[in-house]
Structure 1
Amino acid sequence: MEHLPIFVLQNQGLFSLKYEGEVFDEFRRVFKLWEDPTYLFEFFTENEADLKSWYGGNISIEDAINITIEDSHMLRKNILDVFKSNEKNPKYLNNIFLPFDNETRSSDQGLERCKAKFKKGWLRVYAINVPDDHFVVTGGTIKLTRKMQDREHTNNELIKITNGLDYLKTNKFLDQDALK
């Protein structure tokens, strides 16, 4: 496993983990999947009951694919727009990556688990906030259930977050200077 920079600014930065055997780092990998109609068709077909439950039974697989692709473009744009921000129009990653748990801020040696999402959407990008405001993407998923432990694909993301925390702690990437 290694971490790769997506962009680094003076006061914030975005990195992504790249797991052994993977072609892409996690940031690129999840967005490629979310823009692949074949992958999305297979995913929503396999998880159709969860999809119907999420939308009250009133959504087709084709609509879910279109929504996912559109939301994926917007989520990536929101994240990457931080890199293009300036003093007149500042944008911050900590406004996009919010605490992982809605009720609590979970911290482990100063490292905080975070997620980026749209208010009512099902796409999630998971990251670890390394003080101060340098985020390391650990993965992402389409979350159609309330609890991540309920489905294998979301539970795998919990495992990746834990592995990411372990990687950062083991390699002493506990602050922004250590990441660079």
Structure 2
Amino acid sequence: MELVRIITDADTGAGLYAVRFPGEDADELTRLFRLWTSDIQFLFDFFTEHKARLTRGYYNGVSVQEAVMATRHEADELHRKLLRIARGGLESRGEELESLFLALDDCQFRRLPLQESKLRGRVKKKWLRLYAIRFDVHCYVITGGAIKLTRSMDEAVHLQHELDKLAEVKRFLIRNDLGSQFDLVYLESNNGGQGNE
């Protein structure tokens, strides 16, 4: 497993990182936004498989074609906003990453180290999610993401996989004794962000 800098402060380590899992050619942030904005076949197949969730309940009556177009639009907006806020937070102007990410557990109201977190899209009937570990103040490690059409993550296999990835990255950070964003700078300077895996 490798931690990849997306937008970070070289001195403090604050900012946005993403995990690149073994066997993957891209970090999770890059992989997901390629998937959500460019891989129309993936989106069409996904929404066809989950068509029943689009035609009833909260999304009531959204067609597969509308879902594909909405996802591409939402992903583009989410990506631009995430990068803009990450840059702005490092320059001490405007919003910070803390304003975008929420605790994964809706019952947690305090921000904690190594907290499992989520970022939702901002478009109405949003279903895109990015998942991250809140490493420190204004410091998040993206572990993955998904299209979430269910109320609970336990209701879909692909969402359960995202929970597993969150837990795996959290264990990686603990096992490598990474306790603050300064430790990420140290890890990178010693072995390129690879850790002991």
Normalised TM-score (structure 1): 0.91
Give the match for residue 72 of structure 1. 75
Give the match for residue 37 of structure 1. 40
Give the match for residue 118 of structure 1. 121
- Return the alpha-carbon distance in structure 2 between the equivalents of residues 174 and 106 of structure 1: 18
Give the match for residue 90 of structure 1. 94
| Secondary structure, aligned partner of 1:136 | strand
**Which runs of structure 2 are paired with 1:17-32 in the superposition (5 Å)?**
17-32=19-34
- Return the alpha-carbon distance in structure 2 between the equivalents of residues 18 and 8 of structure 1: 16
Identity, in percent, stands at 33
1:164 alignment partner, one of 166, 169, 177: 169
Give the match for residue 144 of structure 1. 149
Query: 2:102, 2:118 within 8 Å by CA — same for their partners in 1?
Result: yes
Aligned residue pairs, count: 177
Distance 1:131 1:3, change over 3 A: same
Query: 1:106, 1:112 within 8 Å by CA — same for their partners in 2?
Result: no
| Secondary structure, aligned partner of 1:3 | strand
- Return the alpha-carbon distance in structure 2 between the equivalents of residues 113 and 153 of structure 1: 17
Deviation at 1:107, TM superposition (A): 7.6
Query: 2:136, 2:181 within 8 Å by CA — same for their partners in 1?
Result: yes
| Secondary structure, aligned partner of 1:29 | helix
1:133 alignment partner, one of 138, 145, 151: 138
Query: 1:125, 1:139 within 8 Å by CA — same for their partners in 2?
Result: yes
Unaligned runs of 5+ in 1: none
Amino acid paired to 2:7:
F
Unaligned runs of 5+ in 2: 186-197
Query: 1:125, 1:137 within 8 Å by CA — same for their partners in 2?
Result: yes
Deviation at 1:132, TM superposition (A): 2.1
- Return the alpha-carbon distance in structure 2 between the equivalents of residues 90 and 72 of structure 1: 22
Deviation at 1:59, TM superposition (A): 1.1
Query: 2:74, 2:128 within 8 Å by CA — same for their partners in 1?
Result: yes
Deviation at 1:51, TM superposition (A): 2.1
Query: 2:6, 2:18 within 8 Å by CA — same for their partners in 1?
Result: yes
- Return the alpha-carbon distance in structure 2 between the equivalents of residues 17 and 161 of structure 1: 10
Distance 1:95 1:106, change over 3 A: closer
Give the match for residue 8 of structure 1. 8
Distance 1:106 1:176, change over 3 A: same
CA RMSD for the aligned pairs? 1.8
**CA deviations over 1:79-106 (Å, ceiling 9, x no partner):** 100244245x422001111111222158
**Which shows bigger deviation, 5-14 or 23-32?**
5-14
**Which shows bigger deviation, 3-12 or 74-83?**
3-12
Query: 1:130, 1:136 within 8 Å by CA — same for their partners in 2?
Result: yes
Amino acid paired to 1:91:
E
- Return the alpha-carbon distance in structure 2 between the equivalents of residues 11 and 167 of structure 1: 17
**CA deviations over 1:114-171 (Å, ceiling 9, x no partner):** 1111354000000001122210000000000011111111110000000010011111
